[in-house]
Amino acid sequence: MTDLGDGRAAHSPGRARLRDVLAVREYRGMLLAQITSEAGDQIARVALALLVLSHTDSPLLAAATFAVSILPSLFGGALLSPLADRFSRRSVMLGADVLRAVVVALLALAALPGTPLWLLFALLFVAETATPLFASAKAAIVPEVLGRVDLVTYGSGLSRSLSLANQAVGLVLGGVIVQLTDARAALFLDALSFVASFVILLAYLRPRPAALAGAGSIGVLDLVLDMMNGWRLLFSDSSRRALVLLGWGMALPLVAPEAVALAYGRQQGESDGVGALLMAAVVTGAAVGAFLVGRAMPRTQLDLVLPMSIGMSLPLLVTGIEPPVIVLLVLWTLSGMAQAFLVPVMTFTTLFTANENRGAVVGVAAAGFGLLTFLGYLVVGWVATVTSPAFSVVVMAVVGLAVAAVAFLVWPSRQILADLHRIERDPGAAG
């Protein structure tokens, strides 16, 4: 491997390796910033939920803090993500970090007994609105930073694996930090994590012009038009449409195990700790799967999308016979590993999109997935309530297999392969 003047790896034959990706200084900085800010974010979500629970003694209101942290992805992802095309993506990421640092610090200051819950929820909503904007800018700039398609696919798998690991560790760490200090200290720590991310990105990520030439000033109408254009671009291309619709359609089986893990554990007479282990099994499997799939060649990743989407649902069917917890831990870990089909889905949705439109398209795709994930938790919870946690998982697994079967029948394999060959020859040739 040789190094280009801007720090990217020059083309060399063979499979991308971890050291090839980490040799790119800009991407090292992006990963470090990601680890720092995501860990702080998970800690803050736990801290705020525990704070609300201690002040109100209401599990429903505590759960509402997680819902409030998810909902902004629908607004921020669809409407604000086009900003990642109209402005420098580096500037968008830096601005998002500044906004989150300031608002979370205000949230920590406001987290006192007697503070109205609506104020805490409003501040959390504003802070989380910047998260999908940051994520869209980050996803859109990765192909510019890494260049080669194989490096982009490897880097995307590594990034998702770290994100999932952060999710598991951050949730546990959040509880420990609140136990040792208090919720306000955890929130201040989250604010500092965004400051650290800002400094890291400022030092590592070099300035680039806006991808959308001549964007100029922007108003609300421009954002709405950009969002509509993102929807049009997403569904007008058969490759992007197939990838994203598969990801959206698998939302129900994807969230089912985590949604009912605690309830399943209690139904089996186990402690909440066992339920937490079941949740962790899914996330751990997903982290391992994302890393392993990211190591595969781009063509192999695309070939694995449909088989893995089927493989995600199959182990969940066994939940219906309510096997011993140790067996279920293994099965749900395997299901989590197969969730790695989302790595090529997300990566190639980005790569198959022209650089100047990536922010809008990625934002719309993420917003749709976020909405279906949010609704998925509600649907799975409702089915578990009227039947049983185990049966609800089986129902969602059947839904997943049905979605995968339809996708198999209409999958545009030739077009996807042609698009892959085009971007491998010329990474800037995406349409």
Domain ranges, ordered by start, for the chain: 18-204, 230-431
CATH class for the region spanning 18-204: mainly alpha
Most confident of 37-46, 78-87, 343-352: 343-352
Least confident of 23-27, 326-330, 342-346, 382-386: 382-386
Task: Please give the pLDDT value at position 304.
Answer: 95
Percent of the chain with pLDDT over 90: 35
On whether the CB atoms of residues 148 and 9 are closer than 8 A, the answer is yes
Nearest to 339 by CA among 370, 309, 379: 309
Task: Please give the pLDDT value at position 12.
Answer: 46
Task: Please give the pLDDT value at position 359.
Answer: 83
Least confident of 161-175, 177-191, 370-384: 161-175
Q: What is the dihedral of CA 42, 45, 50, 56, to 10 degrees?
A: -170
pTM: 0.77
Domain 230-431, classified CATH 1.20.1250.20, yes or no: yes
Q: Do 230-431 and 18-204 fall under one CATH topology?
A: yes
Is the pLDDT assigned to residue 403 strictly greater than 90? yes
Q: What is the overall mean pLDDT for the chain?
A: 84
Nearest to 205 by CA among 88, 36, 33, 90: 90
On whether the CB atoms of residues 138 and 90 are closer than 8 A, the answer is no
Task: Please give the pLDDT value at position 38.
Answer: 84
- Grade residue 334 by pLDDT with cuts at 50, 70 and 90: very high
- Token code pair at residue 36: 């720092």
Residue of 164 and 274 predicted with greater confidence: 164
Is the pLDDT assigned to residue 327 strictly greater than 90? yes
